[in-house]
Structure 1
Amino acid sequence: MADLVYPRLIAAKLRSQLVYRSSFAIDLVTQAIAQGTELVVILVLFTHVTALGGFSREEVLLMYAFAGAAFGVADLFAGQLDNLPTYIRTGSFDVLLMRPLSTLPQIMCSDIRLRRIGRITGALGVMVYALAHVPIDWTPARIALAVATPVAGAVIYSAVWVVACSICFWIVEGREFANAVTYGSNAFTSYPINVYSRPLRWLMAFVVPGAFVAYYPSLALLGKQDPLGLPGWVGWTSPLVAVLAAVVAGFVWRFAVRHYRGTGS
């Protein structure tokens, strides 16, 4: 029975957002424009340089598109975790614990906002353009990788969201830290990681596995060697990294919930 509750909750939220169609359409366009502003930054940058970290404009656009689509999907389903400090501070999280449902899915289903699809649509448009303009020797394996990369990236981003927001169980006003990790990861993964300094690269690419959202899958699709020296097979491991990230996020969330003491309200 519990498995049937979540689709009903999601359906109710979606219906409520579609009641005001004009407002929904405006929000959708606004999100697409927001995604487009990040694209403009890249295009302007390439009016001054011919390559970035050894990658052409279309190759960087491919990384940007993979990262943007993955982040958009993660934001759609996991972005509600930004409200966790409010749940904890007001005692609403205690109510979630009283229900015969898992707390994490309850929060993730609490406020799915369809307007975020605008961001996903914009990124997918850039992805189609980039894939049509970069030299890829298409094989069944590369087709599967191109399809799996945004999905794996969304799982990685969602896992990062869960882990980063879990700190709010100990630091109630930890939203700024969580946002720095989640939204900062999106900005980081939109560019080749070899353009960043070594400390930032190790932190955001491997501790936070942002390099596996777009950079390494793009290398595998393009058949290019990693300027940082890692072997080529690393580019094919994003789905595995996504599974491992989800497992780690699940353990961290359960650990945080077990040590939650409540507000007393």
Structure 2
Amino acid sequence: MAEAAPAGHWSGPYVAVLSSRLRAQRSYRLSFASELFGSFVVGLAEFAEVWVVFHTVRVLGGLDLDAALLLFGLSNTAFALAQVLFGHLDTLPTLIRLGKLDIYHLRPQPLLLQLITGDISLRRFARATVALAVLGIGLLRNDIDWSASAVALLLLAVVSGTALFAGLFVAAAGCQFFLIDGAELTNSFTYGGSYAATLPASIFPTGLKLLFGFAIPVAFTAYLPTLALLGEPGPALLPSWLGWLTPVAALWAWLLGLALWRAGTRHYQGGGG
């Protein structure tokens, strides 16, 4: 449970709302347990897909099963943590359609910060647990030279990858002010980007390499750091040394996200009720 902020502190309202949301999720224990189990099964199903693919083809895009475990662990850990913190922005279309978003505009706090801190879905930690377990196995099964730079690269990949996916959630939310019922379209870039991040980018044609490597740079969350950790050179357009630039890719995702959010909130004229 979130700790109470000092009286009068700017974070007080956010902490109070978040604490109430966390308490509410744990109030109905059977429902909470079933949601945790469901999220855990989703994580296992995603991992099973990768396991089946690499047990069938053995090597895909220059990576074997052991490397694929590292790739999946890094990408899904980053996405799962971002989903825990920012995934509830997916509810924005519902708030807009029902006119409930106008309530947030009445409060003297930034709208985006209210939405980000308004809820955290604890059940999504189960998916993150699966991803972390696979990441641990991948780190053990691969021959990695554990120098100080390798440790720094691993930490950089997890933190920056989480930030990158978070920026994509903000970008998707900003688009909803224009699309309203376009969640399927924006999910193709958030959840679709998460799926693309679990695959070796070397198997993509040039157009998709540019899309997922630079426009929506999910290749920076796991594929490029995986190559760098394993000492592989990387394919054309995506050399492995780019794995050190994951913070730059995360910054680009946030600049894109904030620009779309700003445009969206300026476009929004209210619920009309």
State the partner residue of 1:217: 225
Question: Which of 9, 12, 17 is the aligned partner of 1:9?
Answer: 17
Alignment of 1:109-124 (within 5 A): 109-124=117-132
Alignment of 1:57-206 (within 5 A): 57-206=65-214
Secondary structure of the corresponding residue to residue 120 of structure 2: coil
Amino acid paired to 1:249: G
Q: 1:12 to 1:177 in 2, by over 3 A?
A: same
Distance 2:262 2:56 in 1: 48
Shift in Å, 1:253: 1.1
Distance 1:175 1:126 in 2: 29
Q: 1:229 to 1:197 in 2, by over 3 A?
A: closer
CA shift digits 1:130-181 (9 cap, x unpaired): 0001111111121122123122111111111111221111121111111111
State the partner residue of 1:208: 216
State the partner residue of 2:55: 47
Distance 2:184 2:252 in 1: 25
Shift in Å, 1:78: 1.3
1:38 and 2:65 correspond: no
* 8 Å contact kept, 2:157–2:225: yes
Distance 1:232 1:94 in 2: 46
Amino acid paired to 2:127: R
**Matched pairs, number:** 265
Percent of aligned pairs sharing the same letter: 35
1:247 and 2:252 correspond: no
Shift in Å, 1:89: 1.6
Shift in Å, 1:243: 2.6
Shift in Å, 1:229: 4.8
Distance 1:59 1:87 in 2: 42
* 8 Å contact kept, 2:201–2:209: yes
1:261 and 2:269 correspond: yes
Shift in Å, 1:200: 2.3
Shift in Å, 1:30: 2.0
Shift in Å, 1:210: 0.7
Shift in Å, 1:197: 2.3
Question: Which of 29, 50, 55 is the aligned partner of 1:21?
Answer: 29
Distance 2:50 2:256 in 1: 33
State the partner residue of 2:246: 238
Mind listing any 5+ residue stretches in structure 1 that lack a counterpart? none
Secondary structure of the corresponding residue to residue 114 of structure 1: coil
Shift in Å, 1:252: 2.3
TM-score, length basis structure 1: 0.94
Amino acid paired to 1:177: L
Comparing 229-238 with 200-209, greater Cα deviation is found at 229-238
* 8 Å contact kept, 1:2–1:101: no
Amino acid paired to 1:211: A
Distance 1:197 1:229 in 2: 11
TM-score, length basis structure 2: 0.91
Distance 2:54 2:249 in 1: 31
Comparing 224-233 with 154-163, greater Cα deviation is found at 224-233
